Amino acid sequence: MIRHIVFFSARRKEDVEAIRQELSALGRIPHSAHFEVTVNTKVDPMCDQIDLVVYAEFADLDALAAYKAHPIYDQTTLRVRPMRELRYSADVVAEQ
């Protein structure tokens, strides 16, 4: 299983909800076994720059590649990129 984790921060704090809504469209891409977009609670003071987290699970690297090749992925990227400041991502192989 591949865990896909992406952290975002908004350029303007008033855009956090708009970014969340745009990123939620990625959940319509059929290749993930699990998908969610959540707002960071910012409980940890060392992580107060991150506003949103995308977490998805994929059966394998091929499913992740198909997800990233889907037209919704490109459309969402085009809409979110102007509103975001930071974007950090990690794709890790996880034991079930």
Tens-place pLDDT, residues 72-82: 999 999 999 99
Residue ranges, the chain, pLDDT below 50 = none
What is the pLDDT, as a whole number, of residue 34? 98
Domain count, the chain: 1
Non-local CB neighbours of 67 within 8 Å, separated by 6+ positions: 4, 26, 29, 31, 32, 56, 58, 73
* CATH code, domain with 33: 3.30.70.100
Dist. CA 51–CA 72, nearest whole Å? 22
> The whole model's pTM is what?
0.92
Show the beta-strand stretches assigned E in the chain. 2-10, 34-39, 52-58, 84-93
Dist. CA 15–CA 53, nearest whole Å? 15
Domain that holds residue 63: 2-93
Dist. CA 52–CA 8, nearest whole Å? 5
